[in-house]
Amino acid sequence: MKILITGGAGFIGSNLAHALTHCREVSEIRVLDDFSTGSKDNLAGADVHLVEGSILDGPLLDRAFRGMDTIVHLAALPSVSRSVAHPLASHHANATGTLTVLEAARRAGDIHVIAASSSSVYGANPHLPKHEDLRPAPLSPYAVSKLATESYLAAYHHCYDLPVLPFRFFNVYGPRQPAGHAYAAVVPAWINAVTTGQQIPVHGDGTQSRDFTYVETVCRVLTRAALTQVVCAEPVNLAYGTRTSLAELITELEAVLGTPLDPRYLPPRPGDVRHSHADNSRLLSLFPDVVPVALREGLERTVEWFRAQLR
């Protein structure tokens, strides 16, 4: 099988590239990335063919997609807060970029497309746990762009019979996740703060909750989905129904790091969702054999990776 990963030099994409490198069913891995947020260093040791460029470049996609069996579309401009600051950039990368990818997949012979949406599409909908049939209520331009991503996949499936599978990712964390910048996710931001002797920033009172998903778990699901060519036009929550408050995350990280954390409480950020907790019934019906990595183990692996980078 031949698989192309858009955004394959980014956090999730590079972890997937490394996972597929060790998968004997995969004969070729192509990575397409413009390195706007990804890094070539993330691909060190992965057996990939690198195509440098943008998902908005249709002719480039035509060349890159030729001969592929599955496209795993992970290229995006991440971060809710970044999208609040730069909404047009978020829209172009995430919504228009997905549309360009789908058009290229159709031109290439209706290639199977797996794409990343986000739990942020649930937004202001208060129902817990979040199941895929809930009404979306996005609170940020990023969430809107991700809702457009999964809506375009559904439309292309129904209009053109394109085989698709949209996943809603929930707070993915792990090795290779960037830290030390204004839009860093909470786990790398906190680990980076502790290792550099700073207070950890907590936006809100710490009672807000997330369904944290270790990146290796995500890669296991994506690999299985690609190898078995799973098709589902409806979005699928990619999380395992855990709910951890930021206060509880502080306690977990203190145990893993072996040191107390010093929180600095800040005002909530515009666009942030208060609580996130996945109903994973649809995921389990499609991928019953995938075993998730537990939060403590995932945090231990993540901290070890960050410490190795410092060494």
Residue range 75-121, pLDDT digits in tens: 999 999 999 999 999 999 999 999 999 999 999 999 999 999 999 99
The rounded distance, in Å, linking the Cα atoms of 122 and 144 is 10
Query: What is the pLDDT at residue 138?
Result: 96
Residue range 129-170, pLDDT digits in tens: 999 999 999 999 999 999 999 999 999 999 999 999 999 999
The rounded distance, in Å, linking the Cα atoms of 100 and 94 is 10
- Taken in order of first residue, the domains within the chain and their CATH numbers are 2-169+215-239+274-292 (3.40.50.720)
Degrees, nearest 5: CA angle 203-206-207: 130
> Considering the chain, what is the average pLDDT of its residues?
95
Query: What is the pLDDT at residue 182?
Result: 66
Query: What is the pLDDT at residue 195?
Result: 85
The rounded distance, in Å, linking the Cα atoms of 308 and 276 is 31
DSSP track, 243-298? -EEHHHHHHHHHHHHTS---EEEEPPPTT--SB--B--HHHHHH-TTPPPPPHHHH
Mean pLDDT within 213-242: 97
Of 145, 132, 139, 2, nearest in space to 75 by CA: 145
SS3 state at 119: helix
Mean pLDDT within 270-281: 92
Query: What is the pLDDT at residue 123?
Result: 95
User: Do residues 114 and 73 make contact, with C-beta atoms less than 8 angstroms apart?
Assistant: yes
Mean pLDDT within 202-212: 93
> Based on C-alpha coordinates, what's the Rg of the chain?
18
DSSP track, 126-185? --SSB-TTSPP---SHHHHHHHHHHHHHHHHHHHH---EEEEEE-SEE-TT---SSTT--
Judged by average pLDDT, the poorest of 10-24, 169-183, 222-236 is 169-183
Give how far Cα 257 sits from Cα of 248, 253, 303, Å.
14, 6, 7
The rounded distance, in Å, linking the Cα atoms of 94 and 118 is 11
pLDDT over threshold 90, residue 272: no
Q: Is there a cis peptide before residue 166, judged by omega within 30 degrees of 0?
A: no
Mean pLDDT within 271-290: 94
Residue range 44-59, pLDDT digits in tens: 999 999 999 999 999 9
The rounded distance, in Å, linking the Cα atoms of 288 and 300 is 26
- Place 202 in a pLDDT band, splitting at 50, 70 and 90: very high
Query: What is the pLDDT at residue 87?
Result: 97
- Place 183 in a pLDDT band, splitting at 50, 70 and 90: low
Nearby residues of 155 by Cβ (< 8 Å), 6 or more positions away: none
User: Do residues 172 and 121 make contact, with C-beta atoms less than 8 angstroms apart?
Assistant: no
The rounded distance, in Å, linking the Cα atoms of 70 and 128 is 33
Give how far Cα 169 sits from Cα of 92, 158, 205, Å.
20, 23, 24
Mean pLDDT within 303-310: 90
Give how far Cα 229 sits from Cα of 65, 112, 216, 225, Å.
16, 7, 19, 6
* pTM recorded for the entire structure: 0.95
Of 293, 271, 266, 73, nearest in space to 165 by CA: 73
SS3 state at 214: strand
DSSP-derived letter for residue 92 is I
Query: What is the pLDDT at residue 242?
Result: 93
The rounded distance, in Å, linking the Cα atoms of 226 and 85 is 34
**Structure-token pair, residue 107:** 């031109």
Alpha-helix runs per DSSP H in 7-108: 11-21, 58-65, 80-85, 87-91, 97-107
